[in-house]
Amino acid sequence: MASDPLAPRTDLRARVRAGEITFGAFASVASPTAAELMGRSGLDWVILDLEHSTLTETDLLAGVYAMQSTPATALVRVEESTRLRIGRALDYGAEGLMIPRLETPAEVRAAIDWFRFPPAGIRGIALSTRGAGMSEVAHADIHRLNARPLGVFQVESPLAVANAAEIAAIDGVDVLFVGPADLSHAMGIPGEITNPDFIKALATVAAACHANGKAAGILLRGAADVARHVAIGYSFLGIGSDGGWVRDGARATVSAARASLA
C-alpha cells in the first residue's frame, strides 16, 4: 500500500503547539553537506536562511533535500513576505517558514493567506511540486495540505511587541520568534539583551504566546542562555548556526594549537 503523500514527515508542529522545548539552528553557508550534518546532530529543526546568509533560491532545493534525509525538520526563512517567496519555498517542500519583518496583524494575515491553498488562502496551485506531493494529491484534497506548514513569525520591533497578543491569536501563527539583534536596535539599546526593557519585551511576547496556545521562540548566543529564556517562557530555541560553529571551532582549535607551543 502506498504511503500517504499528505502525511507529515515529522511531528514538529504538533510538538511545538504542545509546548515542548525544541532546539534548532540556522543554515547559512550554502552547503547541503553542512545542513545535513546539522540535521544529524540531534537538532529538532534547521532553518535554511535566505535573509542573512550566502544561500540563494538556487541553493534552496538542494538544502531541503539534504535536510529531509535527516530526522530534523526543514524550515526556510524567506527573504521577505511576498506571495512568490512564500509559495516557492513551500513548493520546494519546506515543512515550515520563518517570516521576517512583519509588525501588524494585517501583514501576518496576508502572509498566512499565501501559506494556504484555496479556499482558506490564495497559495498558487501546482500539483506537480514537491510541496503538493508531486501529483500524488488530487485537486479535491489539496486543501488538506494547509495544516502542514509550521508558521514562525519574527518579532523585531517595538510595534511588533505591542501587537504580539493580537498576532499570536491568529490561526496559522505557531511561533512568535524574537530576533534579538533587530529588536534591541529598534528599541535603541543595541545588543543589550539583558537590559530590563529588553527583558520586559521578551516577557510580553512570551505572555502573548502562552495566552493563545502558541510558542515563543528566540535566537540565543548558545547553550548557556537556554535555562534563563526557558524560565521567561521560551520553548522554540535557536542555539547557533553552521557558520558560527565553523568559525568558533576553527578559532578554538587554532588558539589551542598555538598555545600548546608556548
The structural domains of the chain, ordered by start, are: 20-147+215-259 (3.20.20.60)
Q: Going by C-beta distance under 8 Å and a sequence separation of 6 or more, which residues neighbour residue 249?
A: none
Residues 44, 70: contact at Cβ < 8 Å? no
pLDDT at 6: 63
Helices (DSSP H) in the chain: which residue ranges?
Answer: 12-17, 32-39, 57-67, 83-91, 105-115, 158-162, 164-168, 180-186, 196-211, 226-232, 242-259
CB atoms under 10 Å from CB of 130, counted, come to 15
Residue of 148, 165, 257 lying closest to 210 (CA atoms): 165
Which residue reads 501559506 in cell numbers? 115
User: Which amino acid is residue 239, in one-letter code?
Assistant: I
Separation of alpha carbons 114 and 104, rounded Å: 16
The model's pTM: 0.94
Please report, in tens digits, the pLDDT of each residue of the chain (262 residues total): 345 666 667 899 999 999 999 999 999 999 999 999 999 999 999 999 999 999 999 999 999 999 999 999 999 999 999 999 999 999 999 999 999 999 999 999 999 999 999 999 999 999 999 999 899 999 999 999 999 999 999 999 999 999 999 999 999 999 999 999 999 999 999 999 999 999 999 999 999 999 999 999 999 999 999 999 999 999 999 999 999 999 999 999 999 999 999 8
Tell me whether residue 229 is one of the annotated catalytic residues.
Answer: no
What SS3 class is residue 125?
coil
Predicted local confidence at residue 22, as pLDDT: 98
Torsion angle (degrees, nearest 10) of CA 33, 154, 116, 69: 20
Give the pLDDT score at 206: 98
DSSP letter at 30?
S
Return the amino acid letter for 67: M
